[in-house]
Structure formats: structure tokens, C-alpha cells
Amino acid sequence: MTELTLENVTKRFDDDGDVIVAVDDVSVEIDDGEFLVLVGPSGCGKSTTLRMIAGLETVSDGQIVIGDEVVNDVPAQRRDIAMVFQSYALYPHMTVRENMRFGLEESTNLTDKEMDSRVEKTATTLEIDELLERKPGELSGGQQQRVALGRAIVRDPSVFLMDEPLSNLDAKLRSGMRTELQRLQEQLDVTTVYVTHDQTEAMTMGDRIAILNDGELQQVATPLECYHRPNNVFVAGFIGEPSMNFFEVTLSDGQLVGDDVTFEYPLSASIRETLDSRSKLVLGIRPEDLEIVDRAETDHDFPAVINVIEPMGNENNLLVDFLETEGETTFNVIVDGMRHLTAGGRYAVRFPESAIHLFDRETGTALHNRQVENEPELLGPRA
Ligand code: ATP
């Protein structure tokens, strides 16, 4: 069942006479209990979208529906939602217990005993029951984050809204809290919209991710679907670290011909048929899908030089160039960490046809995505 719907939602700000369209005609349906991650570069409209759902910002056009109620004109405190902010926003003069109780006192008619019981139960779940009598100033960042979460959880809302809640934590704590938040969300089964610009959070936490750019929704799909079946060049480049490599090519006589390099890549008829007679294309391939071989043996191999090797332990990140245009066309290749290669060495780079993506250069739309084995199992039930 759908719990939260955004229907053609638009937000315009007036900036001294200039109109800024922060969110542009966004529509998405979020199921009951679903964890949706809203992701995109800085300024793409993530926080504004969340604030409209929360009722902290008015909606210029379109409507927001929670359950079966259109909430555009419902004040924030009457929407059945709880929000967790990056800044935690705890009251410094109140104890943890008082901070967690405060929202309940404001928004419910529970008795003192019921409120205490809810606060204590939530504190136990979050393992902060020992800290109930402390003030925020006496807590670490991670503990404050738990209290902020606790304050949202005790309210038992229909929807959680989270705006970069982990970004003030150090890397290790962040990864721990990521797992814990996911576990909690599953256990509580509350519909959640989670804003982040962190790739890892988007990929690992969401049932689905919604990718925004310039206020416009680019794709809403399972994380692996966005990774393997991006709708367009933007999604392809945004999801994945290091990013997908892109090369401008033109289809000519059944071959992809590089615009800047002598790159001639025979393309099978089955892929050519998907290209809708477009010839100006962008070829995309992920760093881990490129292969380094000793010398060019097939017509999908190209002489290359490895400029830089960054050993990560589990893998090596390579910065590679086509031999012919050394220094001008650097792209990324990831190989196994145990592989011995020499920086400055000459090899060949193989572009397996099963792994290439092709995009319309004019519109950025994906015309062909890579092959995926076991597609339904891998990409999720909605793919
Ligand atoms: P970040 O990741 O940097 O927080 P974001 O994706 O959350 O960015 P928003 O804060 O939603 O982006 O902002 C979207 C756009 O709307 C930006 O161009 C921003 O400058 C503009 N904007 C946001 N709030 C206002 C406002 N009150 N008045 C005018 N413009 C605003």
C-alpha cells in the first residue's frame, strides 16, 4: 500500500525577483514500510523536498499525500511524521529523557506513565538507557545522534524523514550507525525518506533510491537497477565510485568510432538495433568492467599505458590512457589487488561488449545498458 505520494510537486523560491525552481514536477509513490533514499548533488533540491513533506515549506504546485490525506495545507505538527536532522537539534538544557519526551508531550495525549514507558523502551532499543539523565553536552556525537533518533522513534509516526542524519559522525561510527539504522527501520517498519549525498548510504540503505538533479527526478529504482540500468548519463555518472568512464563516439559502418582517439569498436547487430538510428553517442563503461591484458588480441582491445597505480589492498585503482593520446584521455580501471602491474607499463585495455552502455549524446538518455545475468534476482522485484 502507498503511504506517501508526491504528485507533480514543484517548489519555486522568489530570490529578489528571480524565480528559483528548487523542485521541478517530482512524482513518486512510497510504499508503506519502504526505505526511500533521496540522493543527488548539492543544491539539487533534496532538503527542500523533505521540508515540503514535513510541512516546513509550502508546496508551489502539485500535492503531497500521506496515507489518503492531501496534506498541503496541514500544519507540520499535525502531520504524522517525525524528522531527524543532521544537526540533531537537541535541547541543550534538557536531559536525554526530557528531550525524548518533549515531542510526545507536544503531539500526543499519553499519560506520564505511558510516555515514560515509551521513552524507556526506545532508549533500550537504541542502547542509550544508561544515558537518560545526562544532558546533550555530556554525550559523544554518536550518542547525540541516537538520542535524536530516539526522539523521532518514540513518536511512532507514519513516516520518518531523515536529512543527512549521519554526516556529522566519523567514518567508522557512521558505518556502524548505517547498519543499525537499517536494522531499526526494518524492525519498526516505518516508511522512511532519507536524504543523503553519500553514495554508500544510498547504495546500501535504500529499498529504492530516487536521484535528483537540478530539481528534476532522474530515476527511482532499486540501488542495483540504478547502477546497472541507469536511465541516463547523469545517473550513470553519479552512482558508482570511481565513476563510470565516458567516451564520445560516433556510430559509423557498424563501428563505434572515437571522436578524440583512434578507437574503432565493432558493435554487434543486436546492440545496433537498440540505438534508434542515433549515431552521436556516449559510450560508458565502469572501471571494474574494463580488463587489462598484455597485448591487444581482439578487436575490443586497445593499446594503453598505465599512468598511476593506487593500491587499495583489496583492489588496485589504475589511471590509464590510450597509448596514442597519452595524457589526454585518462580513464579509470579497477583490477584485483593481488595483480602485479607496472606503472608506466604498456598493456592493452579490453572493453567487453557485454559491459558497455550507450547514451544518446544530445539528450543523455540511455539507449543500451549492459547485460545483466540473473536480472530479476539481482535487480530486485521492482526491476
Ligand atoms: P545540499 O545537499 O547542499 O543540502 P539540497 O539538494 O538539499 O542541497 P536544497 O537545499 O533543497 O538542495 O536547495 C535547492 C535549491 O533551492 C538551491 O539552489 C538553493 O539555493 C535553493 N533554495 C533553497 N532554499 C531557498 C530559499 N529559502 N530561498 C531561495 N532559494 C532557496
> pLDDT tens digits for 33-82?
999 999 999 999 999 999 999 999 999 999 999 999 999 999 988 898 98
Give percent of the chain with pLDDT exceeding 90: 64
State the helix-helix crossing angle for 112-125 and 96-107, rounded to 10 degrees. Answer: 130
pLDDT digits (tens, 9 = 90+) for 252-281: 999 999 987 778 999 999 999 999 888 999
| pLDDT greater than 70 at residue 381 | no
The domain of 315 spans: 245-371
This model's pTM is above 0.75: yes
Same-domain pairing of 18 and 100: yes
Q: Mean of the pLDDT values across residues 333-341?
A: 94
Same-domain pairing of 228 and 182: yes
| Residue 227: strand, helix, or coil | helix
Contact 193, 30 (CB under 8 A): yes
In a domain, 238, yes or no: no
Q: Whose CA is nearest to atom 18 of ligand 1?
A: 43
Give the helix, strand, coil percentages of the chain, each rounded to 5.
30, 35, 35
Q: Whose CA is nearest to atom 7 of ligand 1?
A: 47
- For residue 293, the CA-to-ligand 1 centroid distance in Å is 46
Ligand 1: nearest atom to the Cα of 14: 29
Report the amino acid identity of residue 164: E
Cα 122 to the center of its chain, rounded Å: 28
Q: Mean of the pLDDT values across residues 125-146?
A: 88
Quickly state the pLDDT bin for 383 (edges 50, 70, 90). very low
At 141 the pLDDT is: 83
Same-domain pairing of 181 and 101: yes
- For residue 235, the CA-to-ligand 1 centroid distance in Å is 20
| pLDDT greater than 60 at residue 382 | no
Beta strand 159-163 pairing with 191-196: parallel
Task: List the helix and strand counts (H, then E) for the chain.
Answer: 10, 21
pLDDT digits (tens, 9 = 90+) for 171-227: 777 888 888 888 888 888 899 999 998 888 899 899 999 999 999 999 999 999 999
At 327 the pLDDT is: 66
Domain count, the chain: 2
Domain boundary among 167, 201, 233: 233
- Ligand 1, CB cutoff 6 Å, lining residues: 13, 15, 20, 22, 40, 42-48, 197
Q: Mean of the pLDDT values across residues 219-247?
A: 95
Same-domain pairing of 253 and 191: no
- For residue 187, the CA-to-ligand 1 centroid distance in Å is 33
In a domain, 29, yes or no: yes
- What is the gyration radius of the CA atoms in the chain, in angstroms? 25
| DSSP characters over 185-199 | HHHHT-EEEEEE--H
Quickly state the pLDDT bin for 230 (edges 50, 70, 90). very high
Distances (CA, A) of 59 to 11, 157, 362, 365: 6, 22, 32, 29
For residue 330, what is its C-alpha cell? 585518462
In a domain, 215, yes or no: yes
**How high is the mean pLDDT of the chain?**
91
For residue 45, what is its C-alpha cell? 533540491
State the helix-helix crossing angle for 141-154 and 171-188, rounded to 10 degrees. Answer: 10
- For residue 304, the CA-to-ligand 1 centroid distance in Å is 43
In a domain, 359, yes or no: yes
Domain boundary among 207, 233, 259: 233
Q: Whose CA is nearest to atom 26 of ligand 1?
A: 13
Ligand 1: nearest atom to the Cα of 45: 11
Contact 201, 165 (CB under 8 A): no
| pLDDT greater than 50 at residue 11 | yes
Same-domain pairing of 217 and 366: no
In a domain, 140, yes or no: yes
Sheet holding 331-336, edge to edge: 291-293, 346-350, 301-311, 315-322, 331-336
In a domain, 217, yes or no: yes
Domain boundary among 192, 212, 233: 233
CATH number for the domain harbouring residue 37 = 3.40.50.300
Range of lowest pLDDT (90-94, 135-139, 171-175, 240-244)? 171-175
Q: Whose CA is nearest to atom 28 of ligand 1?
A: 13
Cα 138 to the center of its chain, rounded Å: 33
Same-domain pairing of 216 and 326: no
Same-domain pairing of 180 and 313: no
Most confident of 20-29, 102-111, 153-162: 20-29
CATH number for the domain harbouring residue 293 = 2.40.50.140
Beta-ladder partners of 196: 39
In a domain, 261, yes or no: yes
Same-domain pairing of 348 and 258: yes
Ligand 1: nearest atom to the Cα of 44: 6
Beta strand 301-311 pairing with 315-322: antiparallel
Same-domain pairing of 60 and 117: yes
**CA gap 340, 373 in Å, rounded:** 29
Q: Whose CA is nearest to atom 16 of ligand 1?
A: 22
For residue 243, what is its C-alpha cell? 565513476
pLDDT digits (tens, 9 = 90+) for 279-310: 999 999 999 999 999 999 999 999 999 999 99
* CA geometry: angle 255, 257, 259, nearest 5 deg: 165
Same-domain pairing of 176 and 29: yes
Report the amino acid identity of residue 122: T
Q: Mean of the pLDDT values across residues 102-106?
A: 82
Residue-level length of the chain: 383
**CA gap 194, 178 in Å, rounded:** 12
Q: Choose one of 10, 13, 39 to mutate for the ligand 1 pocket test, by most ligand atoms within 8 angstroms of C-beta.
A: 13
Distances (CA, A) of 173 to 169, 180, 188, 204, 227: 6, 10, 22, 16, 26
Distances (CA, A) of 44 to 21, 56, 215, 251, 267: 10, 18, 5, 33, 36
**CA gap 344, 180 in Å, rounded:** 44
Same-domain pairing of 175 and 318: no
- For residue 18, the CA-to-ligand 1 centroid distance in Å is 14
Q: Choose one of 11, 15, 46 to mutate for the ligand 1 pocket test, by most ligand atoms within 8 angstroms of C-beta.
A: 46
Query: Within 10 Å of residue 146's Cβ, how many Cβ atoms?
Result: 24
pLDDT digits (tens, 9 = 90+) for 338-370: 999 999 999 999 999 999 999 999 999 999 999
Task: Give residue for cell 566519523.
Answer: 170
In a domain, 381, yes or no: no
- For residue 217, the CA-to-ligand 1 centroid distance in Å is 15
Cα 237 to the center of its chain, rounded Å: 12
Q: Whose CA is nearest to atom 30 of ligand 1?
A: 13
Same-domain pairing of 295 and 367: yes
* CA geometry: angle 367, 357, 337, nearest 5 deg: 165
Nearest one of 358, 380, 383 to 236, comparing CA atoms: 358
Beta strand 264-266 pairing with 301-311: unpaired
Q: Mean of the pLDDT values across residues 22-32?
A: 96
